[in-house]
Amino acid sequence: MTPTRPRHFRALFISDVHLGARGCQAGKLLDFLRWHDADTIYLVGDIVDGWALKSSWYWPQQHNDVVQKLLRKARKGTRIVYVPGNHDEFLRGYYGTHFGGIDVVEHAMHQGADGRTYLVTHGDQFDLVVTHARWLALLGDKAYEFAIVLNRLFNTIRRHLGLGYWSLSQWAKLKVKNAVSYIGEYERALAADAKKHEAQGVVCGHIHHAVIHEDFGIRYVNCGDWVESCTAVAEHPDGRLEILHWIEEGTAAEIPELAEVQAA
């Protein structure tokens, strides 16, 4: 039986979609948005990849469909807040404006249902490569695109062998000592900034590594991305936060409520 209703949350946090880049998994995000809804949706930066679009124009119909889906949600009453990142920095000149029901802001303060306040920011301002060596960031971006291509070829072979998805780049991030150190320092800097804003938590993106922890005396939440991991963060009505994984398009088994409807 086909699912009949989406799963509803108090808030959804989505980052690093990279619409306009060839690595963007827009189809999976569109499918995710069909089966997930929220009172408030935070777009936590790098939703549109201006860097990729400058290099070569790539905008297939599915990328347009994602934008239209978000605009439809806004028209139906969902509050949508857009916090630009470094790849969509062209929107940083529009702070305080309202586009089709979407508010563009430098950062947001989200009040959780449990009383905890979260600073919502993309986080690139704490990446020294982006802020002090833009040429190196652009070079790294191209290298990442190449890694994604290799990763997809690798996983095509794995599928033919009956094996599940495995991320080469995510594995490298967690195994290479310098990468682990970089992630740790990035998280520490975001936690410190949240404390400056008198917040008890921070929600960010940028490094494509979905995680929730309290290692630095504050709740650190990273949304992940829609290039590899296909993750978002959801806030339940009681304030509990959860990382949602959307691995396969149309996989209702990922959502207990939808799986129950299908089984009925």
- Phi/psi for 215 (5° steps) reads -65, -25
Q: Are strands 211-213 and 201-204 parallel, antiparallel or unpaired?
A: unpaired
212 within a domain of the structure (yes/no): yes
CATH number, position 219:
3.60.21.10
Sign (positive/negative) of CA torsion 89, 90, 93, 95?
negative
Task: Give the tokens for residue 193.
Answer: 């900034």
* pLDDT per residue of the chain (264 residues) written in tens, 0 to 9: 345 688 999 999 999 999 999 989 999 999 999 999 999 999 999 999 998 999 899 999 999 999 999 999 999 999 999 999 999 999 999 999 998 899 999 999 999 999 999 999 999 998 754 343 343 344 445 555 655 556 666 566 767 777 766 565 565 555 544 454 677 889 999 999 999 999 999 999 998 889 999 999 999 999 999 998 899 999 999 999 999 999 754 444 444 444 333 332
Q: How far apart are CA 216 and CA 17, in angstroms?
A: 27
177 contacts: CB under 8 Å, gap ≥ 6: none
140 within a domain of the structure (yes/no): yes
- pLDDT of 131 reads 41
- pLDDT of 55 reads 86
86 within a domain of the structure (yes/no): yes
2 within a domain of the structure (yes/no): no
239 within a domain of the structure (yes/no): yes
Distances (CA, A) of 29 to 146, 223, 230, 241: 22, 13, 7, 19
1 within a domain of the structure (yes/no): no
The DSSP bridge partners found for residue 80 are 41, 102
List the 98-99 sheet strands across, edge first.
Answer: 98-99, 102-104, 79-82, 36-43, 7-14, 231-235, 241-245
230 within a domain of the structure (yes/no): yes
The domain of 70 spans: 9-263
Q: How far apart are CA 264 and CA 255, in angstroms?
A: 14
Picking from 207, 191, 189, the residue whose alpha carbon sits closest to that of residue 199 is 191
The DSSP bridge partners found for residue 233 are 13, 243
Give how many domains the chain has, as a whole number: 1
4 within a domain of the structure (yes/no): no
- pLDDT of 263 reads 31
